[in-house]
Amino acid sequence: MTTSTRAIGAHGPGRPLEPLEITRRELRNDDIQIAIQFAGVCHSDIHTMNGDWGERQWPLAPGHEIVGIVSAVGSSVTAFTVGDRVGVGCFVNSCGECDPCSQGEISYCERGAVGTYGDVDRFSDGEYTQGGYSRSIVVRESFVLRIPDGLDPAGAAPLLCAGITTYSPLRHWNVGPGSRVAVVGMGGLGHVGVKIALAMGAEVTVFSHSDRKRDDALAYGAKDLIATRDGLPRELRKHFDFILNTVSADIDINAYLGLLRFDGTLVQLGLPGEPMKIRAGSVVNRRGSLAGSLVGGIRETQEMLDFCGEHGITADIELISADRINEAYERTVAADVRYRFVIDASTI
Ligand code: NAP
Ligand code: ZN
């Protein structure tokens, strides 16, 4: 028997978000039921709800930056008990058998990891997933994360996507002391990426489309913030070992590839709907690499949470009630949020 729970979502692409009733499956042996406390608002939610990434089933409640308290566990669950503070990120299932899955890299599951919302759970009941802008959720134990005690739970919610999505490539490309890192776009992903790269010991420069976020970037410990409206400074050509592009819109990536040193790497994280145009010379000239990275695995997400626990890293957030969600979407698109909206789920 399914249970019904309150949520906020939309009845079609581009439609405003409004209160919904959604259903959650009956607890299976390896399932955990979570009473959601906080849900972050990721730009991916906005892309999905706008229809930028293709067809979805409607109505749909988004949300994949979820923090809450375990409210029930299935009969075979051993790792969690009622009352634990836990998180759920971008994925709730994967095949568990392909190469990436066997390495713990479930986001690259060859049969397609199951998104926390707007996806068919093709590895279990074939149900359509509904996300974290909701009062409760049921998730397989192996996709549930533990939130370190010292972290503010509302500020920790965005780590479940923004945190792991930036941590994973920084780790994979061995960023650390001596690395010169550029973070392009200081929004939800970007500002967490800046904090994590600094905690790993890198020198970090922020590229932002205006000067408005300069004081915050410097307060985090960044070396500088470059306002990009007037173009990129010539003196930073061939300067960076590693660039994270977190911009949600289509920007001239060639200009940023020009900032890479010999053998440097630019990792694309932003997912605008339009195709990117790359000039061959932008990568050929410096043996540069243009790479991409998708979220991160469950084990690595736990590692990231523990790292953030040790370094006291959370997102800077604006906590909102559910009725402000449409305003929050508009302000996120306008890059007018410091730096992540988080929904107080008790208001849903
Ligand atoms: P966000 O909070 O809206 O931040 C995006 C930032 O990009 C803005 O704060 C702004 O930074 C900059 N920006 C936005 N529009 C711009 C424009 N027209 N020109 C130049 N700069 C612009 O978004 P987010 O939640 O961090 O997500 C960023 C992107 O990553 C989205 O496309 C999202 O779907 C994607 N994403 C990817 C993954 C993955 O696994 N690869 C995971 C999560 C999200 P400034 O004000 O500093 O310029
Ligand atoms: Zn996200």
Q: What's residue 337's pLDDT?
A: 96
Q: Which residues of the chain have pLDDT under 70?
A: none
Ligand 1 surroundings by CB, under 6 angstroms: 42-44, 47, 161, 165, 185-190, 208-209, 213, 246-249, 251, 269-271, 293-295, 332, 335
Q: What's residue 274's pLDDT?
A: 84
Strand pairing of 66-73 and 85-88? antiparallel
The answer to whether the CB of 220 falls within 8 A of the CB of 181 is no
Choose one of 90, 246, 250 to mutate for the ligand 1 pocket test, by most ligand atoms within 8 angstroms of C-beta. 246
Q: Which CATH architecture has domain 162-292?
A: 3-Layer(aba) Sandwich (3.40)
pLDDT in tens, 16-48: 999 999 999 999 999 999 999 999 999 999 999
CA 225 to ligand 1 center in whole angstroms: 16
Compute the chain's Rg from CA coordinates. 20
Q: What's residue 199's pLDDT?
A: 98
The answer to whether the CB of 82 falls within 8 A of the CB of 133 is no
Q: What's residue 125's pLDDT?
A: 83
Q: Which CATH architecture has domain 3-160+315-347?
A: Alpha-Beta Complex (3.90)
CA 92 to ligand 1 center in whole angstroms: 23
Residue nearest to atom 34 of ligand 1 (CA): 44
b vs e for 267-299, b when ≥16 Cβ sit within 10 Å of the residue's Cβ? bbbbeeeeeeeeeeebbeebebebeebebbbbe
CA 184 to ligand 1 center in whole angstroms: 9
User: CA-to-CA distance for 128 and 96, rounded, in angstroms?
Assistant: 19
The answer to whether the CB of 82 falls within 8 A of the CB of 70 is yes
Residue nearest to atom 16 of ligand 1 (CA): 249
Q: Which atom of ligand 1 is nearest to the CA of 293?
A: 41
What are the strands of the beta sheet with 224-227, ordered from one edge? 224-227, 203-208, 180-184, 240-245, 260-268, 289-292
User: CA-to-CA distance for 92 and 98, rounded, in angstroms?
Assistant: 16
Q: What is the dihedral of CA 267, 196, 330, 318, to 10 degrees?
A: 170
User: CA-to-CA distance for 297 and 58, rounded, in angstroms?
Assistant: 28
Q: What's residue 142's pLDDT?
A: 97
In this structure, which amino acid lies at residue 145?
L
Q: What's residue 238's pLDDT?
A: 96
In this structure, which amino acid lies at residue 94?
S
pTM over 0.95: yes
User: CA-to-CA distance for 128 and 149, rounded, in angstroms?
Assistant: 32
Q: Which residues lie near ion ligand 2 (Cβ < 5 Å)?
A: 42, 44, 161
Q: Which atom of ligand 1 is nearest to the CA of 248?
A: 32
Give the start-to-end residue ranges of the domains of the chain: 3-160+315-347, 162-292
